[in-house]
A and B are shown apart, each in its own frame.
Chain A
Amino acid sequence: MPTHRMMRLAAALLAVLFLGTLTAPAEAASDKTLRAVVNADLKIIDPTWTTAYITIRHGYLVYDTLFALNSKFEPKPQMVDTYTVSPDGRIYTFTLRAGQKWHDGTPVLASDCVASLQRWAKRNAMGQHMVESMEGFEVVDDLTFKIKLNKPFGLVLDALAGAEAPAFMMPARIANQPIDQQITDATGSGPFIFKKDEWQPGNKAVYVRNAAYIPRKEPPDYLSGGKVAKVDRVEWLYMPDNNTALAALQAGEIDYFESPPLDFIALMKSNPDLQVLTIDHLGVQMMVRPNALFPPFDNYKAREALLYLTSQSDTMQAVVGDPSLFKEYCPTYFMCNSDNETAAGAKPFAKQDYAKAKQLLQEAGYKGEPLVVLQPTDRPQYAAATTVLIDELRKAGVNVDVQSLDWSTITSRRAKKDPPDKGGWNLFITSQGGPDVASPMANIWFNAACEKANVGWPCDKELVGLVDQWAAESDPAKRHAMIDKIQERAFVSVPYVNVGQYFQPIAFRANLKGVLEAGVPVYWNIEKQ
């Protein structure tokens, strides 16, 4: 009878299941495992292949850098032991710390570092600028190498330490692979080792403590100093549903939430089991990017109109909500709280003025034709800021054509140089992290190099010239004095509009100690109690 057959089948199934439990090893004890929900999925493990922040964070775990920034944003030696600069500032000589080893046990050599730098410079903007001013690299011995400049370039150490796209050191055999091939071997010399066999793209990435890592003796200071791993295992979990991540944190199923939606912060602060911390005091800057190839934004007056019709506080209220998490108004292009903060040139635009915006648009030749605004459907913060922008545009008399697309479509559409009404665009919202924005050279949206600029293609040779001069200057005091001029020029040619600066705190269980305010989430120095 069917029922007997079914019962036999069911019994067999249950037997198999129980057998499964007997043969399996138990999961590692969780008090030495740190579980973190990360803000994006780690899809790519090659930091020279993509600019995605999550890959850079992965880099910080498994690789080490020659220099690292401290809390004053000064580059401090990390893998380097001592260094000298020739009196004319043209020759930098670096000596590595002794005894450093790659994850596969082989020693770290100067030739490895040079190979890594060469690979990094092929893709990184700062690196490219540096290499353009260089005569070449020279390997002196196993632990020493030189960088030889033939033109002045004052930012060598900053470039090597760069917070948002640092030069990660890898074995030469990996770094020397062709640049158009993705690295698939994550061997580095950092405080953690990537467990590639446990990597599930779209779900989980696992790191284990590197017992052979030799941390520096100094206490940790931002990204510099000693990087001591105090947990045995770090698991990165990607959860597409923020509400699930919040509930998991509340229930203790995860320990660390990298980018909680800003509206959750108040709720989490009131929970005694959780702690909220701002580890990044520079924060994020949101920007409106106009398309300078086509009318009306090919005319500087129309771009200036954008400065008048946008409101940082409205945008930030919609994107962030909690006033303790954003700056009511930040006049500078280069991040408030940074060394380069200045109010030069910003005064006329401090207050929203729709009438002036309308007038400027008319002067720029705008006659009411629809302007294409790209709005992402799957990036809530950008979508929020775009909604505010659309509202502001309409109040300034602009006819808005909203294109709601998913991020994948937007990234390919914004790269097109077609006219807006034929598959192109006029405006979109983007953002960038503090340390990059604070530097006129590292800020990719600030670069007004016309054809070679990033999408939007702002074209202002004078601005580019001013930034080049700034970068060439090796005296930090003199460099600082040039910032005002750069910003004043920026307010005239408007490569983009700053629509707000906000801070993204992290949240974690209260039993975690040693969470560092390092600008980016880093997992050394943290222990679970």
Chain B
Amino acid sequence: MSGAAAAPTELAFSRRRRRLRFASRHLTILVGGTLLVLLIALALAAPAITPYDPIALDVTHRLRPPNAQHWFGTDNYGRDILSRTLYGGRISLFVGIAAALASSVTGTAIGLAAGVFRWADAALMRVMDGLMAIPSILLAVAMMTLVRPGVLIVIVAITIPEVPRVARLVRSVVLVIREQTYVQAATSIGTRLPRLLLHHILPNTLTPIIVQATYVCASAVLLEAYLGFLGVGIPPEIPSWGNIISDGRTYVQLAIWIVLFPGAFLGLMVVAINMLGDGVRDLLDQRLASRF
């Protein structure tokens, strides 16, 4: 970013932009972070604070609207929605974080390999292209029908479509950095590859990876819900937001609370993660910009 000196011809929106960056950086991280911490706390504390067992049936109390005994109402089996929502948060968080981590690690490895080793580049990128050409939901659905459903498989099915994007991102950063003079200088004095990777290349890929990871996390939480909606998600025994909403969609007109509460929590969690991602990106961008 070229110097935005306080010259008489500086545009009004350049000045505002500077002020915005400062304020919003902190505001979005604050709001997003607080919301996320709150949701995580609720999810982690679920076993301690939930009044009912999330999978316990009570067929005599089906489809009750929110009341004193069941703050969020009950579903078509008589199960307590509040307990299921909080437990569902654990699964969604777990899936989101695991998918984000897994795709980041895998994508980074592939991206580094493609960027650093020219001979591997073409082959790896073709495979990444192939994977990206198959719509992620379809790929996930196809994978879910392959094996016995379980949380682990859902994570794998969600991770795989996200890997190509991370790989491409990392690869493009590596390609840019590779051309930088200081890297070429380092190579010319004989710096070995591992040191090169560790000290020069990897640190510069961190920002985009972290930012991308937050978006992957948000997208994973959503994708779990979509897989549940299509009937190929986490096994129904385990309460996840996708399952609860999918089960409850028949009852949208009769018992909207089954979909409303998990849906609201789902939306809030994704909003929080996205805001956090935005804030982190703005923050790290500043620092990064000053380094170059």
17 A-B pairs whose Cβ atoms sit less than 8 Å apart in the complex: A246-B253, A263-B76, A264-B253, A317-B59, A317-B60, A375-B236, A377-B231, A377-B235, A377-B236, A387-B236, A391-B57, A403-B148, A404-B235, A404-B236, A404-B237, A406-B232, A408-B145
Q: Check B62 against A317 for contact (C-beta < 8 Å).
A: yes
Per the 8 Å Cβ criterion, residues 243-262 of A in contact with B are 243, 246-247, 261
**Main secondary structure on chain B at its contact with chain A?**
loop
Q: Given A241-B249, A406-B232, 20 more contacts at CB 8 Å?
A: A263-B250, A263-B254, A264-B254, A314-B59, A317-B59, A318-B57, A321-B63, A377-B149, A377-B232, A377-B236, A380-B247, A384-B77, A387-B236, A388-B59, A402-B235, A404-B235, A405-B149, A406-B145, A406-B231, A409-B145
Q: Check A405 against B148 for contact (C-beta < 8 Å).
A: yes
* Residue among A317, A403, A409 with most chain B CB within 10 A: A317
By beta carbon, the residue of chain B nearest A311 is: B59
Over the window 202-242 of chain A, the binary record of Cβ atoms lying under 8 Å from chain B Cβ atoms (1 yes, 0 no) is 00000000000000000000000000000000000000011
**Main secondary structure on chain A at its contact with chain B?**
helix
A267 at interface, CB cutoff 8 A: yes
Q: Check B253 against A402 for contact (C-beta < 8 Å).
A: no
A109 at interface, CB cutoff 8 A: no
A468 at interface, CB cutoff 8 A: no
Tell me the B residues contacting A by CB distance below 8 Å: 57, 59-60, 62-63, 76-77, 145, 148-149, 231-232, 235-237, 247, 249-254
By beta carbon, the residue of chain A nearest B78 is: A318
Q: Check A247 against B149 for contact (C-beta < 8 Å).
A: no
For the complex, give the distance between the alpha carbons of A402 and B237 in Å: 8
Q: Of B59, B231, B237, B253, which one neighbours A318 at CB under 8 angstroms?
A: B59
Tell me the A residues contacting B by CB distance below 8 Å: 241-243, 246-247, 261, 263-264, 267, 314, 317-318, 321, 375, 377-378, 380, 383-384, 387-388, 391, 402-406, 408-409
A506 CB to nearest B CB, Å: 17
Chain A residues whose CB sits within 8 angstroms of the CB of B252 once the complex forms: 243
Q: Check B148 against A263 for contact (C-beta < 8 Å).
A: no
Chain B residues whose CB sits within 8 angstroms of the CB of A241 once the complex forms: 249
Q: Check B236 against A383 for contact (C-beta < 8 Å).
A: yes
For the complex, give the distance between the alpha carbons of A89 and B82 in Å: 67
* Contact (A267, B253) CB under 8 Å given A317-B59, A387-B57, A404-B149: yes
Chain A residues whose CB sits within 8 angstroms of the CB of B76 once the complex forms: 263, 318, 321, 384
Interchain residue pairs A-B with the least CB separation, the first 6: A404-B235, A317-B59, A378-B231, A318-B59, A242-B250, A243-B252
For the complex, give the distance between the alpha carbons of A225 and B145 in Å: 47
A253 CB to nearest B CB, Å: 15
By beta carbon, the residue of chain A nearest B59 is: A317
Chain B residues whose CB sits within 8 angstroms of the CB of A408 once the complex forms: 145
B56 CB to nearest A CB, Å: 8
B210 CB to nearest A CB, Å: 35
Q: Of B62, B148, B235, B236, which one neighbours A321 at CB under 8 angstroms?
A: B62
A250 CB to nearest B CB, Å: 9
For the complex, give the distance between the alpha carbons of A406 and B230 in Å: 11
A246 CB to nearest B CB, Å: 6
For the complex, give the distance between the alpha carbons of A318 and B57 in Å: 9
By beta carbon, the residue of chain A nearest B149 is: A404
For the complex, give the distance between the alpha carbons of A375 and B55 in Å: 15
For the complex, give the distance between the alpha carbons of A246 and B235 in Å: 27
* Residue among B60, B63, B236, B252 with most chain A CB within 10 A: B236
Chain A residues whose CB sits within 8 angstroms of the CB of B231 once the complex forms: 377-378, 406
Chain A residues whose CB sits within 8 angstroms of the CB of B63 once the complex forms: 263, 321
By beta carbon, the residue of chain A nearest B145 is: A406
